[in-house]
Amino acid sequence: MACMIFISKCKYYLSKEYSAGGSYDQDGNQKKIGNWVELDQQFDKQLTYIGEYNLQGMKIGRWDSMYDTYKQIGGGSYDKDGNQKKIGMWVELDEKFKSNQFTYSGEYNMQCMKIGRWDSLFENKKLQILFKYKKYSGGGSYDKDGNQKKIGMWVELDEKFKSNQFTYSGEYNMQGMKIGRWDSFYDGYKQIGGGSYGSSDGYGNQKKIGKWIELDEGFNWSKQVAYSGQYNMQGMKIGNWVNINIK
């Protein structure tokens, strides 16, 4: 990458197809000001971000995320007071976007806290699982008090979703703790594992209890192995655990 500085403007050239940059302040503080097109730190993701900096070098207003230079795949708004707080509706990219192409869509309140419904999307399509003839979309709800606690029913994606196609479906209590039955799904609809979390006085302690079927960490289309066994009420494995070939 070459950086060419002309007075207050910096442009980045990677090839004839890609260019980005913007202006710095004239006082030598190296503050970005005005409109910018920025490259992701890992440009092999082919992501750029387009938006505006105020005179204090803070992001304000609308910022968009672009993939492969022209396809808008995300973005949202920052507050106009220069606090760089995300507000309103956003579509955010997963930190590992290059390998998994996840995005998450939902709302921030004025204190930059996630609230209400957030959906999970894979390759720009809303994820759904089919369970007992009902479709459930990926994602769930955060509390409306701005504590960013997950509440109610959620469908969550595994960190290695692109390779293993796992989703997990279950419930959070009002304290943001997993409670009751959680199920594991493969390829959107095939239930292949799961079990129950214990609770005490209405507060989930996130201890696994009773019978569980757990998926091998290396589970994928060619290695579909799981383990079946029991947890005691203290969340400790007991007795015999058996290997299961899911295929």
User: Quick check: 198 and 207 in contact, CB under 8 A?
Assistant: yes
pLDDT tens-digit profile of 130-182?
A: 444 344 468 999 999 989 999 999 999 887 777 777 889 999 999 899 999 99
3-state percent breakdown (helix, strand, coil) of the chain, nearest 5: 5, 60, 35
Tally DSSP H helices, then E strands, for the chain: 2, 21
Q: Which value, in Å, is the radius of gyration of the alpha carbons in the chain?
A: 22
User: Quick check: 192 and 209 in contact, CB under 8 A?
Assistant: no
The predicted structure's pLDDT at residue 12: 47
Mean pLDDT of 194-221: 82
Query: Rounded distance, CA 8 to CA 27, Å?
Result: 9
**DSSP conformation class of 164:** H
Record the tokens describing residue 130, joined without a space. Answer: 């089919």
Beta strand 71-78 pairing with 86-93: antiparallel
pLDDT tens-digit profile of 56-104?
A: 999 999 999 998 877 899 999 999 999 999 999 999 998 878 766 788 9
Query: Rounded distance, CA 114 to CA 121, Å?
Result: 17
By three-state DSSP, how is residue 65 classified?
A: strand
How many beta carbons lie within 10 A of that of residue 29, not counting itself? 10
Average pLDDT over the chain reads 83
